[in-house]
Amino acid sequence: MLRWQKPRLTLRIDPGNDPLPPGFVERLGAALTRAIREVNGAGAGIRLEFTDAPEADITIRPTALVDGTALTASPGFSGRGTMGVGYMTVWYDRSNRIVEAVILISTSITDDDLPSVMLEEVTQSLGFLYDIEGPAYEGVSILSQTSNATVRITGQDATLLRLHYPTVK
């Protein structure tokens, strides 16, 4: 089971040097703010906070890569896989403690999909590496592979976060 050991994590947006669509970083910021609010509101023993610092635990990077692009392992950028409109990679140590995460968000993402995809990738960067499939999860779980309709952490997703990161009493 992968998890962060720290109870507080920082997240930042690294716009990089490539040209981006007008307003894209602002839209990422708004979606990230909503995602942080949802995770923090789940009652789990982990807190997320946005930072403008040059380093963070979780870095969000806009990319011109499109859905279906094959990704190779590139330290600090991504693991091997296939890009969707969002793609998350975590790096962890021998004790399964996550030490860094990067979230790629494609500049081709629609405004309708961005809030759900951002929340999904942020949630997955907390140690939930795999999507789930099936009609029972569509519009219900942020981890649904086949739907970008979920924009809240409720029900089983909130329970999952609380079990994975219990509050310290």
If DSSP codes are grouped into helix, strand and coil, which group holds residue 44?
Answer: coil
Mean of pLDDT values over 32-61: 98
The model's pTM is 0.92
pLDDT at 18 over 90: no
Across-strand partners of 92? 98
- pLDDT digit string, tens, across residues 93-141: 999 999 999 999 999 999 999 999 999 999 999 999 877 777 777 676 7
Q: Which two tokens stand for residue 10?
A: 């920082």
Q: How many residues does the structure list for the chain?
A: 169
Mean of pLDDT values over 140-148: 71
In the DSSP assignment, the letter for residue 132 is: B
Residue 132's CB: how many other CB atoms inside 10 A?
16
Which position has the token pair 């992968």? Answer: 2
The pLDDT score that the predictor gives to residue 141 is 76
- Sheet (strand 47-50) strand order: 47-50, 8-13, 58-63, 98-106, 86-92
77 confidence band (pLDDT: 50, 70, 90) = confident
59 confidence band (pLDDT: 50, 70, 90) = very high
Which position has the token pair 């998890």? Answer: 3
The pLDDT score that the predictor gives to residue 140 is 66
Residue type, 3: R
Domain boundaries in the chain?
Answer: 8-163
Superfamily of domain 8-163: Collagenase (Catalytic Domain) (3.40.390.10)
